[in-house]
Amino acid sequence: MKQYISNIYSALATVFIGMKITFKHLFVPAVTIQYPDVRVTLPGRVRNRLYVNMDDCIGCDQCARACPVDCISIETVKSVPGEDLGKTSNGKKKALWVTKFDIDIAKCCYCQLCVFPCPTECIYMTDVYEFSEFERENLVYSYITLTKDEVLEKKANFEKFEAEKAAQKAAPKPPAPEKPAPPQA
Ligand code: SF4
Ligand code: SF4
């Protein structure tokens, strides 16, 4: 009988201890939010989706070389004489057409190592964190501003320029003019 009463006491004590914690939490502010109707304010230095401002990109490849997981892929074509690509907002002269600038954000580990070496500060992390996709290939972002036709045109211009330069080099040189004979004494 004594054991029986002890068990009842123990069960009631356990319930009251549990309920004490429950009642305590009824009067503290909630830590959950009604996402997606409510969103938390992110800290200023948060690291989420990358963005590249192509107007300022000089195609130097430094960001791609710094990336530890090789998720940045860049291709460039040299400009030819007569083409003016302008300058970046911090005054660097642009000399390369950026014909490919892809970031596979599915591979990205958000380390930000690509951001620091950029000489024009045109690659940076944003606070965008909602970019889930059903297809993995949709997570490869292309940032170039040139159209497919323009990329082909820039490549063709450069190849033509190189071919002309090679032809000029290969052309036979005109004979050197003969030196006048020294005056007779
Ligand atoms: S944040 Fe890191 S992993 Fe992502 S692209 Fe930049 S260097 Fe690569
Ligand atoms: S480091 Fe900056 S300027 Fe150079 S290729 Fe990357 S984004 Fe462009």
Identify the residue whose C-alpha is closest to ligand 1 atom 4: 108
Nearest to 111 by CA among 174, 64, 48: 48
Rounded mean pLDDT of 43-67? 95
The pLDDT value recorded for residue 160 is: 95
Ligand index nearest the alpha carbon of residue 67: 1
Ligand index nearest the alpha carbon of residue 105: 1
The alpha carbon of 46 and the centre of ligand 1 are apart by a number of angstroms equal to 14
Ligand 1 and 109: CB distance under 6 A: yes
Radius of gyration of the chain (CA): 33
Q: Does pLDDT of 185 surpass 60? A: no
Q: Does pLDDT of 173 surpass 80? A: no
Q: Does pLDDT of 184 surpass 70? A: no
Domain ranges of the chain: 50-167
Location of structure tokens 């938390």: 40
From the candidate CATH numbers 3.30.1300.10, 3.40.50.720, 3.30.70.3270, 3.40.190.10, the one assigned to the domain spanning 50-167 = 3.30.70.3270
What H or E segment, with its residue span, contains residue 166?
A: helix 148-170
Nearest to 101 by CA among 156, 60, 149, 69: 60
Q: Does pLDDT of 174 surpass 90? A: no
| Ligand 2 binding pocket, CB closer than 6 Å | 52, 57-63, 74, 117-120, 122-123
Output the average pLDDT for the chain.
92
Rounded mean pLDDT of 39-68? 94
The pLDDT value recorded for residue 125 is: 95
Which residues are CB-contacts of 91 (< 8 A; sequence separation ≥ 6)? none
